[in-house]
Amino acid sequence: MMLDPQLDADGNLIHLLSTEGLSREQLTRLLDTGASFLGVSDRDVKKVPLLRGKSVFNLFFENSTRTRTTFEIAAKRLSADVINLNMSTSSTAKGETLLDTVDNLCAMHADMFVVRHESSGAPHLIVDHLRRTGRSDIHVINAGDGRHGHPTQGLLDMYTIRHYKGGFEGLKVALIGDILHSRVARSDIHALKTLGAESIRVVGPQTLIPTDIESLGVEVHRDLDSGLKDCDVVIALRLQRERMSGALLPSATEFHDRYGLTHERLKAAKPDAIVMHPGPMNRGVEIDSAVADSPRAVILPQVTFGIAMRMAVMSVLAGG
């Protein structure tokens, strides 16, 4: 069997690259640990000394203010030192390769890399490089790579669902909109499968749904009403217009008419269904303001839980 790149020889989680391949026990342990950290952010001193003296490097090759900020807050609440590198304006722009950048940061005694990259697999490449060069004591967290995955977002979504629904058994979950470009969708689908959700639907226009997505064990719906029917959890995805080249979509208005979440359309879901969104939202496109600002929307709690989950991931990786 091929060695899981996320695990060390003893089976401990030392990198987080994907929610795929994590066992139910590992996912549950991460969620439980996240619950422990939730209270830290409510205290006067919002800090615990777990990662005191450790250096966490945020390597963002692609802009993302929210994800970078929540990782920075999480690391600082664990007492780590955080160095933010905006790679689009740094040596990479001058021609340095990814692995040369990594080697240089290792020479600065980095303990953890948080990596966001436009290419799928970039964090995996860094893990392989660290293993080959005997520096597996440095931990890597994937903060979003291409269309592949965004595992900490997947974990915070699972935390949010468990918080509001109590568990995963019997749950019907719909992911709506731009599945094609969404690494969040992939991370959510793998985690939901492992945690035992009953039904996972992806809903959107044919052009925005990957052709082989059924192989992940999801139902494909082209029609929003059938996709939402009796759902417990509705996850709206951001329409990633900046990634769209060619004629994937007639117009944002037409998308909203067919797939935008409104109170009217949500009547197909269960009355107590929660609405989630990974942010940033396009109000009036994938979600109506009236829905986004309603009590059933748990979009801001997702952000709060995201900090606790990122603290949990960093602590579990660093603690082995």
Where on the chain is the footprint of another protein (CB under 8 A)? 12, 29, 32-33, 36, 38-40, 43-45, 47-50, 315-316, 318-320
Nearer to another protein, 94 or 109 (CB): 109
CA distance 52 to 161: 31
Minimum Å distance from CB 303 to another protein?
20
CA angle 252, 303, 216 (to 5 degrees): 65
Minimum Å distance from CB 19 to another protein?
18
The reply to whether omega before 301 is within 30° of 0 (cis) is no
CA distance 46 to 185: 31
Minimum Å distance from CB 30 to another protein?
9
Nearer to another protein, 47 or 243 (CB): 47
Minimum Å distance from CB 181 to another protein?
34
Which burial class, exposed, middle or buried, applies to 89 when counting CB atoms under 10 A from its CB (0-12, 13-18, 19+)? exposed
Nearer to another protein, 49 or 95 (CB): 49
Nearer to another protein, 49 or 295 (CB): 49
Nearer to another protein, 58 or 315 (CB): 315
CA distance 312 to 291: 30
Q: Go through the chain and tell me how many residues it has.
A: 320
User: In 3-state terms, what secondary structure has residue 48?
Assistant: coil
CA distance 228 to 104: 49
Minimum Å distance from CB 8 to another protein?
12
Nearer to another protein, 6 or 315 (CB): 315
Minimum Å distance from CB 33 to another protein?
6
CA distance 276 to 285: 15
Q: Residue-wise over 129-157: b if at least 16 C-beta within 10 A, else e?
A: bbeeeeeeebbbbbbbbebbbbbbbbbbb
Q: Residue 172's Cα: distance from chain center in Å?
A: 20
Minimum Å distance from CB 35 to another protein?
8
Nearer to another protein, 46 or 222 (CB): 46
Q: What is the chain's Cα-based Rg?
A: 19
Residue given tokens 């959510």 in the structure block: 188
